[in-house]
Structure 1
Amino acid sequence: EDVTTINYTLTWTYLENPSNTTFAGIQQIDLCRCPQQSPHTSSSPTEDHIYTRYKCAGPDITFKGGKEDLWVLSPAYIESGQINFLRPAERWEVEGRPCGNVLSTCRAVYEEALPILYRGRNFLFLTGPCPRGRYQAYATQTFLERLNPLARSHVTAVSLIAQSYEEDCSVNDVGRAYADLVRYLGQSVPGFTTLCLNVWDERLVGAARECRRILETGAIEICLVRDPRGGMAVTCGDVEGFLEALEGGDV
């Protein structure tokens, strides 16, 4: 399936300085002023605390429209860390983006156009550098949640890149993000068939294991790539085969 890239931006409403690079060992420390998911009013004070994913309020996500510049993977992307390497899209890549303008005409055109816009596309979500991580799985799930049920039913494939900072600056928080996404795909995207999983960082093999849960449905497969420098993709239709290919590290 053709890769369709969609760009997004993260806005950290409650972080004191969301563009800083303050580290404590391998862990980034950010001062947060969110209500930590408890009711909060303007009259009740919010104590400053260290940002903790799944406890603090996460980032707001804005997806780029068809009239905005598109940035896609570059050959140097495999060397990405906190700073990732994208390139401006070529014309044919820009023209390949789904355009929702046709959906504003009438319901008949809307229903006929949906398969063209979503089915048979491999959606990959990319954003620029972020010291907290780029929250790729979270952005993917958010995009799907914002689609109406009819549009969502035509989504068949998405891609994930498991490497440093693509999801989170903390390796320990990546597994839950993957588990949440594959659970959502299995339960709420009825036409979904393929998860394209690119595991390019050995530290994230454990987190990538969480993706095995999507194979339990029996109707979805994982297309796994372990070598970013031209490695062959292995199609896995069962948990045992997926774990063997994942931990073998030679595909």
Structure 2
Amino acid sequence: MRTIYWGHTKITTISEDEINDLQTLLPYWGMLLDTNKREIINGLTNCSVSINGIESHVYRKLQTSLQHTGVNISSNQEKKSANIDISVCVEETLTYPISLTLMNMTYNLRTVTKEYVDLNKIIHQGIWFPRKGSPIVVRIHPKEEQNTVKWLSYLIIQAFLRKSFEPLGGISLSVYRKIVTTVLSSINQDFSQFQNIKKNSASDWPETPNVPAYLQHHSLQSTTSNQKKHSIQPFHKKKINKEESPFNPFKFQDKSQKTSIINPFQKGGE
């Protein structure tokens, strides 16, 4: 077991394998791990963001949400030079939850609505920064206005640390929850609330879709027929395809059109 520190203070003790998982997760939360000292450090030190278009209470919540990252957030009124300028507006005409415009391109983002799919998709709720650039206009549908702080937090972290992101397929949901509870919540309770993935009532897997009523009779007949043809062998070994390529959510495909829909989990040309 190894002790993990934050600000020279011990926060938890975890196994060597969990340390590797922690090191993979931290950039998604705006932090990094000093492996020599086993100390978690700010990931956005010397990074600055100027933001306008949000109310003062939202501005304060955003600062609190990202205080563990070390990022410097300023408002337009403070007139400080920043690495990234973000303008936020609420737009009722949007047909998507959130839309980003930068470098003369508009990206409509679909958020993940299921309780749990996999960590690659759910850790930032499907919100992905399409490309590096500034200024950025963030438009949010009124129905999603309560997610403003969460989504802006994710976008700001991605703007600076996206190159440090690694696929999360090797991290189990139980280990993820443990690290959120023992590590992240000890560092920033507000941000950790965004990372509390809800567990489905039956299991961690999404429920299978219901069979439409008009297909149920046919499905029952097919199942009965198949049961007669094949005996059940619950311990029969299945062939596993070991050449399956790992999931990479960090490739985006630039389109020539002015508006595009981001699917960060579809491979495209660089």
Q: TM-score range by the shorter chain?
A: under 0.3
TM-score, normalisation: structure 1: 0.24
TM-score, normalisation: structure 2: 0.22
Pick the structure with greater CA Rg: 2
